[in-house]
Structure 1
């Protein structure tokens, strides 16, 4: 027994531990309840009585030595781990890192600028639901049942009416004109009519293939002015003011006759290309002009659909894409950049 104790004592003294795995192996062999030292203590009963005291002292010394070595190894492993995870000393002579601040998204910059321009001439901001019924998105705006915009290729439908009534269909709005209808509906017949002078910025959705020139999600700002004696000249003066404030001095503007179901007469608004200065480029298709908005006098039937007397009240409406305005203002040639969150693109707008 004493010879076996001396052999294990020598093994403990020669044992080398460099990792947590080796430390665990040491513990299992010498210290655990199933280790060799425990087995020796269990074999003490077979030692003759006259030698049992001496062997017991040797075993206690062996157990203490094993625990001492285990504590030394544990301390070594902890110090090694702490050294590996400790931070390098701070060099106080190094220059301070700049305080990098975030930037505002270019679409938000342009959206806020548009709101600012129209608020200064008396327009307030209105909002409405993005999931809308067919009536508010199409029906009340004079879209006939066979209009292409009602086709599934252009519109994201959320729910179709079980009885086939298109007025009950639910969809993602394709323009913010639904807010115009809701605003006009609030003006109850027989009460004092308050003129409507509002703009409606917001997200809209159309089922289009994503490319450099088109996206299935984009942003619009529409405007509506309803009151007595509102004429086409009021529309032109309003949009002339907007172009003057938003773009470079000397920007030209023109109105082209067009067609929209909810306005009559209707016109599309073009401005001289901000990219090439009107000389011709790929953005303006070498024409020198870029379309920025659609507009017109609100159709009397649309006014009547909302419970307002079209014989007494008239109004104009317009709508423009924020992405298009941003493209012209900051020379962005790919609509996908707005939604890809490329930091290299977004950092170009620091300080704006």
Structure 2
């Protein structure tokens, strides 16, 4: 067995040479100094202090050195990283101060203006859009149905043919309402410990079951409302959002009736001549099931196969996915006391936020929930 290489010189490692460390440090400091705003500084931070930055990679090389060589290399790299972090902090404080000073000037309010000159407010566009969708279906003979947001698991899952081990029931997707300590129905140590059998509804589909149980057949209802899922808040996701659910149960209903209803809805909301298509899919509460796409309202399919006319809205595919639909699963009808041999039905569900983004080119879903009047005011006051 050979002895350790005690003559190993860390300076000979390219990434650990003093001049290389100094160069990495100077590049980071220059990048921070050149950042003109906080967004540019964030990019420079990732490039020069992130896990794949040059100094971070050089720091990893130290682990391969013999013990007597690690101290000197560590001091060299650690000192450089310390300088970089101090420069980053100082530059961030400068840019934040500049931003705050700019906001104070740009968004200043003149308190000497006459107090009665109040700008008109605006209804939230989500509310306006939900009511417009309701109007479309009420004109077709549908009723508006509502249900509780804190919903029993039976309505939210079991009545809709979700198996006990279905992934949608997991804590990663669903907010469970805990019962008082010691009164839970689940055994100790299980995922559902302290579970009261109540969840914050993950979709508006439970209103379908409540409508079938509480109304005489036939049933034609539209169910708008707020739903909850454990998603992160970002540009395209939010843990609290809105859905609209459609349910029709009558004798002799078919997929053709569903398709005609969807065509009418899309044309009423996006303009005459808009087309829809159905793609096979799977949902526990419908069989057969489909994803509904509508024709791209910007390019109307003209961008497909034409590199000279790209469409950012549909990605030059010509279609935009809107929501899921299908014929109501006979198991759902049976669970709600409806004879599937006599009655059939169809259902459709989609997100209101997603439709608002389509209709009005809203790029960031966070704008819908921050309560800034500068977002709602351009939509006006519709009654």
The one of 188, 205, 214 equivalent to 1:177 is 205
Matched, 1:336 2:366: yes
User: What pairs with 1:37-116 in structure 2 (closer than 5 Å)?
Assistant: 100-116=119-135
Aligned 8 A contact 1:232 1:297 in 2: yes
The one of 284, 287, 297 equivalent to 2:314 is 284
Aligned 8 A contact 1:134 1:168 in 2: no
Cα 1:100–1:137 shift into 2, 3 Å: same
Matched residue, 1:163: 185
Matched residue, 1:214: 237
Aligned 8 A contact 1:255 1:269 in 2: yes
Structure 2: runs of 5 or more not aligned: 1-110, 304-309
Aligned partners of 1:171, 1:348: CA distance in 2, in Å?
36
Task: Quote the offset at 1:235 in angstroms.
Answer: 0.7
- Higher mean alpha-carbon deviation, 245-254 vs 200-209, is at 245-254
Give per-residue Cα distances to partners, 1:228-258, cap 9 Å, x unaligned: 1111111111111101110023322111111
Give per-residue Cα distances to partners, 1:313-346, cap 9 Å, x unaligned: 1111111111111111111111111101222222
Give per-residue Cα distances to partners, 1:198-225, cap 9 Å, x unaligned: 0000000000111111110100000111
Matched residue, 2:149: 130
Matched residue, 2:249: 226
Task: Quote the offset at 1:351 in angstroms.
Answer: 5.0
Task: Quote the offset at 1:272 in angstroms.
Answer: 2.0
Please provide the CA RMSD for this pair: 2.5
Aligned partners of 1:125, 1:117: CA distance in 2, in Å?
11
Cα 1:351–1:186 shift into 2, 3 Å: closer
Matched, 1:194 2:217: yes
Matched residue, 2:44: none
Aligned 8 A contact 1:275 1:328 in 2: no
After TM superposition, the score normalised by the length of structure 2 is 0.62
Task: Quote the offset at 1:288 in angstroms.
Answer: 2.7
- Secondary structure of the structure 1 residue equivalent to 2:281: strand
After TM superposition, the score normalised by the length of structure 1 is 0.68
Aligned partners of 2:381, 2:284: CA distance in 1, in Å?
42
Matched residue, 1:320: 350
Cα 1:150–1:281 shift into 2, 3 Å: farther
- Secondary structure of the structure 2 residue equivalent to 1:103: coil
Matched residue, 1:347: 377
Aligned partners of 1:102, 1:276: CA distance in 2, in Å?
34
Matched, 1:301 2:324: no
